Amino acid sequence: MLEIKNLNLHYGVIHALKDISLTVNDGEIVTLIGANGAGKTSTLRTISGLEKATSGEILLDGESIMHMPAPKRVSMGISQVPEGRRIFPDMSVFENLEMGAYLRNDKDGIKADMEMVFGRFPILGMRKKQLAGTLSGGEQQMLAMGRALMSRPKILLLDEPSMGLAPILVQEIFNIIKVINATGTTILLVEQNANMALSIADRGYVIETGSIVLSGTGQELAQSPEVRKAYLGG
Amino acid sequence: MDQFLQQVVNGLSLGSIYALIALGYTMVYGIIKLINFAHGDIYMLGAYIGFAVVTIGGLGFFPALIIAMVLCAVIGIVTERIAYKPLRNSPRITLLITAIGVSFFMEYIMVYFVGANVRAFPDVLPKTQYRLGSIVINLQQIVIILTTIALMVLLQFIVHKTKIGKAMRAVSADRDAAELMGVKVDRTISATFAIGSALAGAGGVLVGIFYNSINPLMGMMPGLKAFVAAVFGGIGIIPGAMIGGVSIGVIETMVSGYGSSMYKDAVVFAILILVLIFKPSGLLGKNTREKV
């Protein structure tokens, strides 16, 4: 589905991503774990087209999307739930979801997907007229995920969905991620909460100061001494 | 009491014009965080376009209004493309200085082509006066107020109900997030300049009718006052610009009516200072913070 080859990204003189290569196959949950500042968010931003890579290649279903502008990549089937949710606070829940379907024109399909989102996140259905900025953190995370699903993505990029949420909510969000994946959406999940991420991931990559240092199945990584020491508290 | 109501009527018509200009300031600020100091000059160009349509084209008020709005929209888009778009990733001060440059460019290119002298805006509306008790309202004032209300309703409709309006709100709230929804940011910014400039163009034609005189430097003072109005209401907030514009117009008229017209500008800028001291985010402004 998604293939990244030797991706490099510079912010001025800072070499933020160094020869990143990773693959996400159809139907998988793949996680990218690493410490703060390792380059996880930069990787997702580059895939979505918010950052321009210096070199490398990004393929979606074999087609290069390297030089496509961000909106075009959305229409190709890449959708992102950005770090910190980034919902539109002064728009209603309903309008936020409408924004998620911005590139679509099939009114009936949009309506059906809206019902699907309300089915998956009943709290959003109850609050659809409410301004998104007044929602709690967990509800905002659900809204951000619902919004991203409204574009009917082939692959969903999730950036730190557990950030700032109570443990019980983290569990709920991860359950929903599994359900979204089970209904046919491929997922690339970026997390600092390595434990949680590896528990639901088919495969994972570990990123450190801009380079991929380790990869394997979720279980392999969870048991790897390096990962345990660095990210899972021994 | 009668004099007071009379001043309110006069203030509302002047305030309507300020509000139309202030909307463009606030919309452009909302979307690219630029105080577009050339905005008052778009309004001046709108007045001249209206003047040309009426005197050369021999057309009436409504054609003049529509043509001025359309041409100002085009001028707004072109200005943004040429002057501001190349600076999209530059520091804000660079943009601000550029805007001041664009402002002088527009003023003096008009001085060059049409001369610096004041021209009389022809009477496009009959000088009918209506009496409500002891208050006198003339047709010009009614047309100005009604046109402004119609344009504001139209603007609210565009911003809240249309796709481009929602894109504008999304980009001004969070440019990256909007892009992740598939919004084309450049096109949305163009649309914002087009709408803001069209409103300023309408303001230009209306002020031509109101004051009967136009000149190439006429955009400076109303431009600054509309900026004050936008800050007063809360810059970046559309209803704030409407309220701010009308308030500044009424306050200015009251100062002229009860005090001395010599102080009207001083009072307006004193208000700016007070707003900046006591409520820097403006009447409708709020300090947002991230939720965790």
To the nearest whole Å, the CA of B251 is away from the closest chain A CA by 30
Please choose, from the candidates B201, B222, B216, B233, the residue with its C-alpha nearest in 3D space to the C-alpha of residue B29. Answer: B233
Least confident of A210-219, B39-48, B180-189: A210-219
Enumerate the residues of chain A whose CB falls inside 8 A of the CB of residue B171: none
Q: Over chain B, what is the mean pLDDT?
A: 92
Q: How far apart are CA A106 and CA B183, in angstroms?
A: 17
Q: Tell me: pLDDT of B290 over 50.
A: no
Q: Could you tell me the domains of chain A?
A: 2-231 (3.40.50.300)
Q: How far apart are CA A147 and CA A143, in angstroms?
A: 6
CB-based contacts of A47: which residues, under 8 Å, 6+ apart?
A2, A4, A58, A73, A78, A80, A157, A188
Q: Indicate yes or no: CB of A86 within 8 angstroms of CB of B290.
A: no
Query: In chain B, which residue's Cα lies nearest the Cα of A44?
Result: B180
Enumerate the residues of chain A whose CB falls inside 8 A of the CB of residue B174: 86, 88
Least confident of A29-38, B162-171, B179-188: A29-38
Kindly report, residue by residue over A83-134, the tens digit of the pLDDT.
999 999 999 999 999 999 999 999 999 999 999 999 999 999 999 999 999 9
Kindly report, residue by residue over B106-140, the tens digit of the pLDDT.
999 999 999 999 999 988 888 888 988 888 899 99
Q: How far apart are CA B181 and CA B166, in angstroms?
A: 11
To the nearest whole Å, the CA of A16 is away from the closest chain B CA by 19
Q: How far apart are CA A85 and CA B80, in angstroms?
A: 31
Enumerate the residues of chain B whose CB falls inside 8 A of the CB of residue A69: 184
Contacting B with CB below 8 Å, chain A residues are 48-50, 69-71, 74-75, 79-80, 82, 84, 86-91, 95, 98-100, 102-103, 133, 135-137, 140, 147-148, 151, 164
Question: For chain B, which residues make up each domain, given as ranges?
Answer: 19-220
Substitution target from B166, B181, B185, B287 for chain A, most A beta carbons within 10 A: B181
pLDDT at position B283 is 87
pLDDT at position A46 is 96
Q: Indicate yes or no: CB of A137 within 8 angstroms of CB of B291.
A: yes
To the nearest whole Å, the CA of B252 is away from the closest chain A CA by 32
For residue A46, the SS3 value is: helix
Q: Indicate yes or no: CB of B174 within 8 angstroms of CB of A98.
A: no
Average pLDDT estimate for B5-14:
92
Enumerate the residues of chain A whose CB falls inside 8 A of the CB of residue B170: 88, 91, 99
Query: In chain B, which residue's Cα lies nearest the Cα of A89?
Result: B173
pLDDT means per 10 residues, chain A with 234 residues, are 94 93 95 90 96 95 94 95 94 96 94 94 94 93 95 95 90 93 95 90 93 90 84 66
Q: How far apart are CA B21 and CA A213, in angstroms?
A: 57
Q: Indicate yes or no: CB of B170 within 8 angstroms of CB of A98.
A: no
Query: Which residue of B163, B170, B184 is in closest CB contact with A71?
Result: B184
> Tokens 């006198």 correspond to what residue?
B136
Give this complex's ipTM.
0.92
pLDDT at position A192 is 87
Kindly report, residue by residue over B257-287, the tens digit of the pLDDT.
888 888 999 999 999 999 889 888 888 887 6
Q: Indicate yes or no: CB of A87 within 8 angstroms of CB of B176.
A: no
